[in-house]
Structure 1
Amino acid sequence: MSEIKITGSNSPQEISGIKLEKQCSSKGFDKFMREAINEISNIQEEAERAVKELASGGDVIQAVIAMEKADMSFQLMIEVRNKLLNAYDEIMRMQV
């Protein structure tokens, strides 16, 4: 059997003018999650403002869009939480 040679490197390289940015940032996971939760909270507050504006004669479509955006962001947050809990449970079941 002939020898297999691997050329190149395993590290990503720049492709035709597209610069690779570092995927990892200096902030930790907890800071990332806090920022995400704060963003979802802001979206919820925007939806509440849109509903209050609707009660005082505001645009129905804007209120519906804001409520749906808030609902979708909240559902996404719940799904992320569920995935994190499932991952934690799986790690805890691992034998050392």
Structure 2
Amino acid sequence: MNVQAIAGLGAHDEVAPPATGVATPMGPAFAQQVARGLQEVNEGLLASQADLQRLAAGEAASLHEVMVRLEESRMSLQLLLQVRNRVLEAYQDVMRMQV
């Protein structure tokens, strides 16, 4: 058994509590992640809308590329709606709990 390999694991322990006793976030806050996700979905929808306008004006290079981008933006919107529904369900479940 190699003890040196096991001893090296403690240096990379990210779960260890902070020295001050106050929890610090390891990454961006939940609200920032949600805002970033909303922004990305909005940008995708605006881009697909612009592609559709170019297609209607006859300026689009390929119908296939426009349809692929349109489907990607539709799927990202559907994913966003499903995440929203799950968050609302979880919130409602928490609110129904008796203390």
TM-score between both structures, scaled by the size of structure 2:
0.70
Cα pair distance change 1:86/1:62, threshold 3 Å? same
Higher helix proportion: 2
Paired with 1:30 and 1:48, the residues of 2 have a C-alpha distance of 27
Q: Could you say which residue in structure 1 is the equivalent of 2:53?
A: 52
Q: Percent sequence identity over matched residues?
A: 28
Q: Distance in 1 between matches of 2:47 and 2:14?
A: 32
Q: Secondary structure at the match of 1:89?
A: helix
Asked if the contact 1:47–1:70 (Cα under 8 Å) also holds between the matched residues in 2, the reply is: yes
In 2, distance between residues paired with 1:48 and 1:20? 46
Structure 2 distance, partners of 1:81, 1:69, is 18
Taking a change above 3 Å as real, the CA distance of residues 65 and 20 of structure 1, as seen in their structure-2 partners, is: farther
Instruction: State the distance in 2 between where 1:88 and 1:82 align.
Output: 10
**RMSD (Å) for aligned C-alpha atoms:** 2.6
- Structure 1 stretches of 4+ with a deviation exceeding 2 A read 19-22
Residue in 2 that maps onto 1:80: 83
Report the count of equivalent residues.
Answer: 80
User: Counterpart in 2 of 1:63?
Assistant: 66
Counterpart in 2 of 1:3?
none
Gaps of 5+ in 1: 1-7, 14-18
